[in-house]
Structure 1
């Protein structure tokens, strides 16, 4: 082929001619050794033409091997995509996982297995976490009414992994092994927040509590309608008075006796047989601080003598508020200890009043208290109370999600934080002191 006076030969055809010439010279050697005449050039040309014709009729290469991977193909090696499409198997067998991938995934599986324990803040003990798991996941195996508490059920719980038996044979007496809880009203969910506040402040006097929805057939329908309820761990050794009319106390204590006990540097020690004589001053300080932040009136001021109550308040409806005129008639309730620790108060019924107005805060709850626990006061002063409570409340997924997470809980936490600042101002104005925690 000529182009602009220059002869041009296609590379493909040039290579073919060279191969033909080399092949011809090589092919001549055996003909020389055998004494036979080499084939004529025309014959070689015919053979080449036949070979080219045969190549043209070969079947084409597989079409898909020439196509690029589709744009929607998932990233990663082809085996991974095949496993995802076939439920973990490809081409009839399970795909092996590379050793490096197994090592990299092992910690993640371990984290999922440990779950709450690994992420739990340090103020929640191993015992707290164990009881929270029992309350949130335990199977209901028995139920019993609590006298004088119509909307409260005590239930026996079986932890996951326990040997299964006949549920119908379980009885409330099984609560002596510490595997029971009190299911309370949906309106008492504030008790769960109170438990976390108690632990964040380092008081450690409240019983573990979680939020839960129930579906057990042993429970009445009103308990299984999907409403979120608090369930509080039942302490089997709570000490109750034998008096049926005053069984919510470990000791009978009136307001005037209580104020006398709080007097500093008393000339005479309280007699050993005096009511609540085994409870030291520091316990009342913890209780007063806790109740003020939550505005729990039922223990120290069930008559609402420290503020002007609304007509809808139970203390008004039950005509208790009228007794404020005669302090000798005022008594304390829910003053409880455990037989295993008679010098430590147990805080129960901690629902409090989250919406109690700031201009009606009950300072009577602080009357007679001249010092507060140093660790709790330091936490209030740190400015981190809200963030610490959020870190703790995240463990209770039912409560967290039902309240809308951090944003939904912030108004409640802000209210508690505001009360904390007011309490700190009260401590400063009255020149009150703090005390270090004694070892348990």
Structure 2
């Protein structure tokens, strides 16, 4: 904790300098090499002769817009003495009141019931009672704020006495307790909010005290990610495929990308599955930065997997020879908003090397969200993401504060630079409507 403010201020100072400093030659070579590789694999990719350099006035306008993205970053202030589990701050406007309320429930709620998740032996569904920390913070929370929150759909703090575990979950009071190794899921949630994607579910890192409800391995002192359970997510009735809202093979996915569902084709007309075309650009950008393969590339076809990878041990990697055998997983939407996706199981690969990045994750993508790309260009992702992670005290302290988290964030920045180069090489569109 000590010195956190100093490190974040240094990050903000470096933010502007990064925009004026040329990238190291080695990184540029890596980017060009990877981008060239991808272009060679894609027959429709433009050749260097087809590309036109942007006009200077367009470059100037882009730089001006990118600087505006970081205008508020100089106001960061992180008090060293803030011991709240979830730290609320006006310097993190990307975290909504609803996000923070759910984070408080996840970080401090008492486990009152549990249930197993079918086919997911290492994940436990737990209902959380907000009563204990609401009493502790009662003096700080006005009745107006509580009434406003109770009116929110699926608000987890709603003061209703459910009859059983299923009822608690239906009202939005449940969570998933994941493996300690899945801690990257917390960073993924904050990255989602900082980039303005707003598709991941709230997540925090926490430990649990001794409990009559939880098995010992959940109360042994090891911090683990806790993710909010969204009762509105639509699951297939098929038990073997319940982690999807719609079944999709890789060829079907590539075909729906080509027809631009919701723009040039009806959302419900084949091959479309009701999801807006722009959603896939959000997903691809998010998954590429985090290197999440267990969604678009479950069989690890787009990179060199280690022999101990589950996709190798379970013989999934052998399916890469036939695209028709490849299926997408964790393609989920809400029942009340089926045209927008929900990102779950976001524990990607924090240490995936730059020379083994999975470019299959962006195959077929022809547009990306402008807000997220602008932030990647600005060089200010580090300051904003560290400030966001500071809101989760257990995650922040458990990873060594700014000094411990900075290498992880800079890895994301490096992947962002590689993706930006790919966007420039392929002259892809940026979508303002996202």
Structure-1-length-normalised TM-score: 0.71
How far apart in 1 are the matches of 2:242 and 2:424?
38
Q: CA 1:274–1:174 in structure 2 vs 1: closer, same or farther (change >3 Å)?
A: farther
Would the aligned equivalents of 1:143 and 1:172 in 2 still touch at CA under 8 Å?
no
Matched, 1:343 2:339: yes
- Structure 2: runs of 5+ lacking an equivalent: 1-78, 136-156
Q: CA 1:145–1:275 in structure 2 vs 1: closer, same or farther (change >3 Å)?
A: farther
How far apart in 1 are the matches of 2:285 and 2:305?
21
CA RMSD, 1 decimal: 2.7
Alpha-carbon shift at residue 437 of structure 1 (Å): 3.0
Alpha-carbon shift at residue 223 of structure 1 (Å): 0.4
How far apart in 1 are the matches of 2:163 and 2:337?
32
Matched, 1:222 2:193: no
Largest Rg, 1 or 2:
1
How far apart in 2 are the matches of 1:397 and 1:386?
18
Aligned residue pairs total 329
- Paired position in structure 1 for 2:242: 247
- Paired position in structure 1 for 2:417: 421
2:194 paired residue among 196, 200, 205: 200
1:43-58 → structure 2 map (5 Å cutoff):
none
- Paired position in structure 1 for 2:99: 128
Q: Cα deviations across residues 375-399 of structure 1 (Å, max 9, x unaligned)?
A: 0000000101111100000000001
Alpha-carbon shift at residue 171 of structure 1 (Å): 2.0
Would the aligned equivalents of 1:205 and 1:347 in 2 still touch at CA under 8 Å?
yes
How far apart in 2 are the matches of 1:176 and 1:387?
37
Would the aligned equivalents of 2:267 and 2:275 in 1 still touch at CA under 8 Å?
no
1:393 paired residue among 375, 380, 389: 389
- Structure 1: runs of 5+ lacking an equivalent: 1-107
1:234-313 → structure 2 map (5 Å cutoff):
234-263=229-258, 269=265, 272=268, 274=270, 277-313=273-309
Q: Cα deviations across residues 360-382 of structure 1 (Å, max 9, x unaligned)?
A: 10001000001100000000001
Matched, 1:333 2:304: no
How far apart in 1 are the matches of 2:272 and 2:163?
39
1:99-114 → structure 2 map (5 Å cutoff):
none
How far apart in 2 are the matches of 1:153 and 1:191?
16
Alpha-carbon shift at residue 272 of structure 1 (Å): 2.0
How far apart in 1 are the matches of 2:205 and 2:127?
16
Q: CA 1:264–1:276 in structure 2 vs 1: closer, same or farther (change >3 Å)?
A: closer
1:363 paired residue among 359, 362, 371: 359
How far apart in 2 are the matches of 1:342 and 1:265?
16
Q: CA 1:265–1:237 in structure 2 vs 1: closer, same or farther (change >3 Å)?
A: closer
Q: CA 1:275–1:171 in structure 2 vs 1: closer, same or farther (change >3 Å)?
A: farther
Alpha-carbon shift at residue 404 of structure 1 (Å): 0.6
How far apart in 1 are the matches of 2:311 and 2:192?
26
Matched, 1:161 2:156: no
- Paired position in structure 2 for 1:190: 184
How far apart in 1 are the matches of 2:396 and 2:85?
20
Would the aligned equivalents of 1:141 and 1:168 in 2 still touch at CA under 8 Å?
no
